Amino acid sequence: MTTEELVAQIHKKKSFLCIGLDVDLNKVPKHLLTEEDPIFAFNKVIIDATHHLAVAYKPNTAFYEAYGIKGWKALEKTIQYLNKNHPEIFTIADAKRGDIGNTSSMYAKAFFEDLGFDSVTTAPYMGKDSIEPFLNFKDKHTILLALTSNKGAFDFQTRKIDGKEVYKTVIEISKTWENSQNLMYVVGATKASYLKDIRKLVPNNFLLVPGVGAQGGSLREVCKYGLSSNIGLLINSSRGIIYAGNNKDFAQAARSAAKELQTQMQEILDAL
Ligand SMILES: O=c1ccn([C@@H]2O[C@H](COP(=O)(O)O)[C@@H](O)[C@H]2O)c(=O)[nH]1
């Protein structure tokens, strides 16, 4: 998917909501556990109930890998379901990959070619040759961790080296890589005030912003500092939406939670 197609969808739906599909079988409604594939069954109901309110879905691969081959199968069925029924929706494999070049090439093939995701999250620690294999794919997006939502972000990312914070150095150097136009960045909603500085470095790149909802980040704060001329934000909520209810009416509860965020997004977009 091109960035232009993503932006068009945002304007059409008046939403820049990304729904995280982090399926934990201890949290899904009990009646689904008798299904042949309870993970996919859960995702299908959530997608059917929310696709008109969201522009992106983000399965975190950890929640599928934890269930072995059955989990991976459920991930494959989920992305196939999205690509077949909602090809306009942007898909993110939250896998946080990155390795020596030839290994990264295989990760990129796995997520872009085999599974057919539009984007994958990557970790910058191993540098240029670990990320460029992802950037080589046309109309695919590589979402680099810049400033994460967790407390541990302060261990390395905000430390200064040669007078500059590591997350700023990550952004600046990554902009020099080949095909860097295919880069997006992860910035946690819990670090909203940092977005002011981040936007000076990347005025136009899309930012994937997790941390609204269960982690306490504020949608309005993120928008205050993070909106760009092409909107430039995908705001993710996972647990806050998919576990809004846990009995037979869980789909309705998820839709209401998604609607609440989408309504706020619509208000923000209408005020621009
Ligand atoms: O900095 C980061 C990077 C990734 N995540 C992931 O996003 C979701 C957030 O889930 P919630 O339930 O809405 O808290 C999850 O998959 C994280 O692994 C992040 O939170 N922060």
CA of 74 to the centre of ligand 1 (A): 20
Residue to mutate, 17, 18, 19, 22, ligand 1, most ligand atoms under 8 Å from C-beta? 22
pLDDT digits (tens, 9 = 90+) for 124-181: 999 999 999 999 999 999 999 999 999 999 999 999 999 999 999 999 999 999 999 9
Look up tokens 């997004």; give the residue. 265
State the pLDDT at residue 215: 96
Q: Most distant CA pair in the chain: distance in Å?
A: 57
Q: Which atom of ligand 1 is nearest to the CA of 153?
A: 1
The reply to whether ipTM tops 0.85 is: yes
In sequence order, the 6+-apart residues with CB closer than 8 A to the CB of 52 are 13
- Backbone torsions φ then ψ of 153, nearest 5 degrees: -55, -30
pLDDT digits (tens, 9 = 90+) for 42-100: 999 999 999 999 999 999 999 999 999 999 999 999 999 999 999 999 999 999 999 99
pLDDT digits (tens, 9 = 90+) for 232-272: 999 999 999 999 998 999 999 999 999 999 999 999 999 99
Residue 213 pLDDT exceeds 90: no
Concerning whether 96 is annotated as a catalytic residue, the answer is yes
State the pLDDT at residue 214: 87
**CA-CA distance, 211 to 203, in Å (whole number)?**
21
**CA-CA distance, 169 to 177, in Å (whole number)?**
13
Q: Which CATH architecture has domain 3-270?
A: Alpha-Beta Barrel (3.20)
User: Helix, strand, or coil here: 158?
Assistant: coil
Query: Distance from CA of residue 205 to its chain's centroid?
Result: 14
* Entry pTM: 0.98
* Domain coordinates in residue numbering, the chain: 3-270
CA of 178 to the centre of ligand 1 (A): 28
